[in-house]
Structure formats: structure tokens, C-alpha cells
Amino acid sequence: MQTETSLPDYLTGDFYLYLENMNSLADPENPDLLSNYLSNLFEQLKQMPLLFNGMIDQLAMAISTKIRIDSKKLTKIDFTEEPSWAEIKPFVGVHADARACITEIMTHAEQDLKTAVLILHFYNGYDATPTKAEESKSDQFDDYESNDYDENY
């Protein structure tokens, strides 16, 4: 059973952009669309490591298949305050063919890299199952017994 994890405020905008992108590329009629897109995105990043500077959602997508996050250990960090890269880095493994690219990003755009890694961490634990909305008092009224309505409208 998955525990509910709230998304920190400092990640919400970028996280939902990432989520929207991932959902739009998950096409059941074309199952290779997402993996091909992510592969092409990383190849572009590999050629120009700072290509997605300031575009955290795209950076997260590009590195998503090239890094491994130890989310089990990373969950022990308190995310109420934004952690530093030094706190996150020990929980991130980088695929051999991505090391030079990730090192370049870490050197010149550490904040973007850290945010992208955190987005991937929260995405890996994200449960997209809609929760049942609670019935509110306004949904429970009976039109016919109320005198607040003008029948001549």
C-alpha cells in the first residue's frame, strides 16, 4: 500500500508540467512513443548539457532513464524546507553513458538538476488514482423544500 506523500510547494509547478508531459506521451496505441521521446530528448541533452537550463520538466524527462534514485532512503529527508544538492546527491546513481552530461549539468546548473531529481523522486511515488471527493453540505440540499428559489425566473 502506498503512503500519501504531499508534494512540497517549491516543486508543484515543475512537477505538474512534468506530469502533464508524461501523461500526454503515454499513448496505449503507440507504446513506444514515450520511450522514443525520452531517448531522443537525452541525446539532445548529451550534445548540449545545458539545453534545458530553466526547463526543469524537460530536464527531468531527459534524465529519467539515465539516473537511478534510491527513493526508499531519500524519503527519510525532510522536504518541508528545500534540501541542498549535497543532501540529495548520495541517493542518485548515474548510468555510465550519462556521467559526463550529468557532471556538466551539476557543475553549471546544480539547482535545476536537484529539482529535476526531486521531481523524479516524487513522480516515482505518485499515485494518480483519483480520491473520492467528500460530499459537501451544499450538495445535500433539497430544491423542493427550500423557499430561496424564485419559481418565476
Element (H, E) at 93: strand 92-94
- Cell numbers placing 22: 508524461
Give a yes or no: residue 63 inside a domain: yes
Kindly report which listed range (80-84, 107-111, 123-127) carries the lowest average pLDDT score: 123-127
Give a yes or no: residue 144 inside a domain: no
Checking if the pLDDT of 144 tops 90, the result is no
* Angstrom distance (rounded) from CA 120 to CA 143: 48
Q: Closest by alpha carbon to 46, among 71, 65, 22? A: 65
Give a yes or no: residue 136 inside a domain: no
Give a yes or no: residue 4 inside a domain: no
* Angstrom distance (rounded) from CA 147 to CA 94: 67
pLDDT of residue 6: 83
How many CB atoms are located within 10 Å of the residue 80 CB?
10
* Angstrom distance (rounded) from CA 134 to CA 141: 15
Give a yes or no: residue 103 inside a domain: yes
Give a yes or no: residue 107 inside a domain: yes
How many domains would you assign to the chain?
1
Give this prediction's pTM.
Answer: 0.79
Q: Where is pLDDT greater, at 124 or 128?
A: 124
pLDDT of residue 1: 32
Going from the C-alpha of 101 to that of each of 28, 42, 50, 67, 87, the distances in angstroms are 31, 9, 9, 11, 21
Domain carrying residue 64? 9-128
